Structure 1
Amino acid sequence: MDLLLFLKQSANVSVGSRSPPVAITPTAQAQDIRQSVSLPLQIFFSFAMITILLVALSGNVVVCLMVYQRSAMRSAINILLASLAFADMMLAILNMPFALVTVVTTNWIFGTLFCRVSAMLFWLFVMEGVAVLLIISIDRFLIIVQKQDKLSPQRAKCLIVVTWGLSFIISFPLSVGFPPLDTPPRAPQCVFGYSTEPGYHAYVLILMLAFFFIPFLVMLYTFMGILNTIRHNAIRIHSHPDGMCLSQASKLGLLSLQRPFQMNIDMSFKTRAFTTILILFSVFTVCWAPFTAYSLVTIFSDDFYHKNSFFQISTWLLWLCYLKSALNPLIYYWRIKKFRDACLDLMPKYFKFLPQLPGNTKRRIQPSAVYVCGEHRSVV
């Protein structure tokens, strides 16, 4: 009995002396994040985000104003580009400033409710931009490959309403807490974290399919078809340098009947719009593919999500995502002459260094017409 009593007391002493588990508080978590992000890197992130914010806001505001104020700019493609610019502008206004504050403080200070709302707005604007690129890519495919010009300004407006509605439906569950997001987050803004719930995984997978993978595959297919058509056209032009298409040219009003329509016309003029969309697609892929892979790894890997460097990785990838919103208006100015001329017209007189060009130019022929030549409607 004495031996049993002694063993029992020894067990109680050992259990009582065991230290309780230490809980990781938000303050301790923030200190770990501060240690993982050095001050020079924090200054660089802040400077980069401020620059991106200003360029994205000013550039996309100019694009929206040009399409709104000028009737000559309200073609179907320009209306879609204005919707894309509006989504990028709202992303700059409603998401970038709060991410900037979080980078500076290394802590989310805006509360749980706004965490969910900001995540919903982030995906709403991002998905709308992707949907616009998808519509424009399909339109270029129909024009160049199928020789069909079905996208009118009225249809473009209807498609914009539909895409905004679908984007809102897909992103709205985030604002009501499904799936739940950690607060404070381990990233500059509320992003998906690690979870073992099948519903959480299903939602993120559906979102990534609708936002990146399906649009990427569809746009890749359209661009491959367009490039294949352009390659065949180039071969035909070199094979028949003296080919004529008088009947079709006279119908389009491009040339008089006395002057032959040469097939070796400037191909860069006909494919310039396609090249612009291809550049936008390339920028979208480079900026968003890393973030997509990062989101998928985060929800499945606990070790990756709880790394001390997770905040730094998230900041780099979000900086790259926001960069797309700033690059889009610069691409418009570089590639689209109407936008460039209209932008120069909007500038004050003391900022104008180049001569003005007539701004009220209108589309004289259908886009699909310049790709059609001959009795068999062969694509040029």
Structure 2
Amino acid sequence: MNESIATNLFMKCMVLAMNYYQNNELRNASQMISDFNITDASTWKNAQRIYPHNEGDFMSECMKPSHKRPYEFSWEQKALWACLFGVMLMVAIVGNCIVIWIVLAHREMRTTTNYLLLNLSVADLLMSCLNCAFNFIYMLNSDWPFGTLYCSVNNFMGNATVTASVFTLVAISFDRYVAIVRPLHRRNSRKKARMFVASIWVLSVTLSLPGLLYSATESKSYSNGKSRTVCYLLWPDGRYPTSLADYVYNIVFLVLTYGIPMLIMVVCYSFMGKELWGSQSIGEHTERQRESVKSKKKVVRMFIAVVSIFGICWLPYHMFYVYAYHNPMMTSSAYVPHLFLGFYFLAMSNTMVNPIIYYWMNRKFRHYFQEVMCFCCFQLWKVNSINKTQDIYLHQNSVSMERKSKSFKLHTVDRQRIDSRSVRQTELNGSPKT
């Protein structure tokens, strides 16, 4: 870069930085560019050699120079967070695998609603295995060690799985609404349920394509000698926090995967609640009708719990992102990494809570869960019994061999004594008489 241009940029950057810290106000990219008052195209071309993405990102880097790595967790804090996430991931993976097995292995469980529950468990399982674990490592160490390719996969799978989960919950609410509020309407068949599942994944993949198209990694070096690699979305107009496309995409994603679905589910379950608890049918109910209504109430309670916990788990995470976009300087505070990890843990814990709800509130699922747990306990007992039996057998063999060895030694000694006595007796008997 030309020395005069570099000096000019440096001086103007210093002035802007001082103004920023005095006013405590983050100026937008266009205003900062105008403040630079640089009209020569070659100036920006040379400046982009320093920060190659765009002038807005260059300004952002200028305003917030990187003298050291972001806040780093102590090893005690890392150990605590690792234990929390480890337990959560283990419960989520095991629980959702059991739900998938229950639906696929038992013909009586292959209903339309359970097929949708199966899809929900698949989405949660993929989120736990392909996204949550890698994101946790990234956030804990402030470094992305998995390469550019998996950066794209991670960003894509994170959005695709959460989209599939919430769209599945919406499909379940529609299915229950038709069954309870409009019972004379033609019910959805299992074939239609498969079509719903396919449509859900097509929509989820489409909405998550930017994660595949615009993901990138970048290595950053700091004045204290440390470095790190970041994984982020690099849009045509730059990246967070200067990219308008990034902001619009995240707002649209929030509305389509949280705002509208939650509104639809609240309306559907409100009508279901009114139908089951608020209306009184004329005439007497048969025992079969009473049992049917009771069963429907249990199912609705279970799904209300699932939807409520989904809303509670994801709300802080979404609100944090919206607030951080409008207050980007908050991310430099020392407490924010812990706050964000807490919100992320709460959002991801939704993947482990659903199987627990099924076990707690559904008799059939509880029966099969107990069957799996009893089988696992029996297998552990069987393995332990076999090991104990082998240990006892080996110990007995060892004792027996020791006894045989001692007996053989005693027998050998006795035999030697007898032979010695026999020789002496023979010598005495064979000696000449005087």
Fold conserved between structures, TM > 0.5 = yes
Asked whether the 8 Å contact 1:188–1:315 carries over to 2, the reply is no
Is the CA contact (8 Å cut-off) linking 2:217 and 2:230 kept in structure 1?
A: no
The residue type paired with residue 195 of structure 1 is P
Partner of 2:68: 28
Find out whether 1:244 has 2:297 as its counterpart: no
Indicate if the aligned counterparts of 1:76 and 1:153 stay in contact, CA closer than 8 A: yes
Match for residue 304 of structure 1? 330
How far apart are the structure 2 equivalents of 1:301 and 1:175? 27
Q: CA deviation at 1:190?
A: 5.8
Does the 8 A contact of 1:111 with 1:183 survive in 2?
A: no
Question: Which deviations, in whole Å up to 9, do the C-alpha atoms of 1:121-163 show, x marking residues without a partner?
Answer: 0111111011111111112122222223522211111000000
Q: Give the equivalent residue in structure 2 for 1:68.
A: 104
Alpha-carbon deviation of 1:227?
2.0
Q: Which amino acid aligns with 1:28?
A: K
The offset of 1:266, in angstroms, is 8.1
Q: Say if 2:153 and 2:212, in contact at 8 Å, map to a contact too.
A: yes
1:155 paired to 2:201: no
Deviates more, 1:193-202 or 1:322-331: 193-202
Q: Structure 2: how far apart are the matches of 1:292 and 1:87?
A: 19
Match of 1:291 among 317, 326, 348: 317
Q: 1:10 corresponds to which residue?
A: none
Equivalent residues in 2 for 1:111-126, closer than 5 Å: 111-126=147-162
Q: Structure 1 320/189 Cα, relative in aligned 2: closer, same or farther at 3 Å?
A: farther
> Which residue, 198, 212, 224 being the options, matches 2:244?
198
Deviations 1:173-193 (A, max 9, x none): 112116x78778x99986897
Task: Measure the CA separation in 1 of the matches of 2:369 and 2:277.
Answer: 34
Give the deviation of 1:206 after TM superposition.
1.2
Contact 2:218 2:230 in 1 (8 A): no
Cα 1:301–1:115 change in 2 (3 A) is farther
Residue 230 (structure 1) aligns with = 276
Q: Pick from 197, 202, 210 the counterpart of residue 165 of structure 1.
A: 202
Match of 1:208 in 2: 254
- State whether residues 145 and 229 of structure 2, in contact with CA within 8 Å, keep that contact through their aligned partners in structure 1: no
Moved more, 322-331 or 194-203: 194-203
Matches within 5 A, 1:305-344: 305-344=331-370
CA distance in 2, matches of 1:111, 1:307: 28
The AA in structure 2 aligned to 1:132 is T
Tell me the residue number matched to 1:47. 83
Q: How many angstroms does 1:73 deviate by?
A: 1.1
Counterparts of 1:266 and 1:76, CA distance in 2: 17
| 5+ residue gaps, structure 1 | 1-14, 256-260, 353-380
Q: CA deviation at 1:64?
A: 0.8
Whole-Å Cα distance in 1 between the matches of residues 232 and 242 of structure 2?
A: 18
**Alpha-carbon offset, residue 33 of structure 1:** 1.3
Q: Percent identity?
A: 22
- Partner Cα distance (1:61, 1:290) in 2: 27
Q: In the aligned structure 2, how far is the partner of 1:308 from the partner of 1:172?
A: 33
More contact order relative to length (CA 8 Å, sep ≥ 6): 1
Alpha-carbon shift at residue 25 of structure 1 (Å)? 8.1
Q: Could you tell me how far apart the structure 2 residues matched to 1:347 and 1:110 are?
A: 35
SS in 1 for 2:71: helix
Q: TM-score, normalised by structure 2?
A: 0.64
Q: Which has the higher helix share?
A: 2
State which of 204, 214, 219 in structure 2 corresponds to 1:177. Answer: 214
SS state at 1:195 partner: coil
Q: SS where residue 121 of structure 1 aligns?
A: helix
Shift of the 187–351 alpha-carbon distance from structure 1 to 2, 3 Å rule, reads: farther
With over 3 angstroms needed to count, the CA separation of the structure-2 counterparts of 1:181 and 1:274, relative to structure 1, is farther
Deviation of the 1:267 alpha carbon: 5.0
In structure 2, how many angstroms separate the alpha carbons of the residues matched to 1:187 and 1:286? 32
Partner secondary structure for residue 173 of structure 1: helix
Shift of 1:292: 1.0
Deviation at 1:92, TM superposition (A): 1.2
Counterparts of 1:152 and 1:350 in 2: how far apart (Å)? 34
Against the structure 1 CA distance between its residues 227 and 113, is the aligned structure 2 distance closer, same or farther, given a 3 Å change threshold? same
Residues in 2 aligned to 1:181 and 1:202: alpha-carbon distance in whole angstroms: 21
Shift of 1:27: 8.5
- Cα distance in 1 for residues equivalent to 2:316 and 2:229: 15
Question: Cα distance 1:28–1:112, how it changes in 2: closer, same or farther (>3 A)?
Answer: farther
Match of 1:276? 302
Which residue number in structure 2 is paired with residue 98 of structure 1?
134
* TM-score normalised over the length of structure 1: 0.72
Q: In the aligned structure 1, how far is the partner of 2:219 from the partner of 2:272?
A: 46
Whether the 8 Å contact between 2:219 and 2:229 is mirrored in structure 1 is: no
Q: Number of paired residues?
A: 312
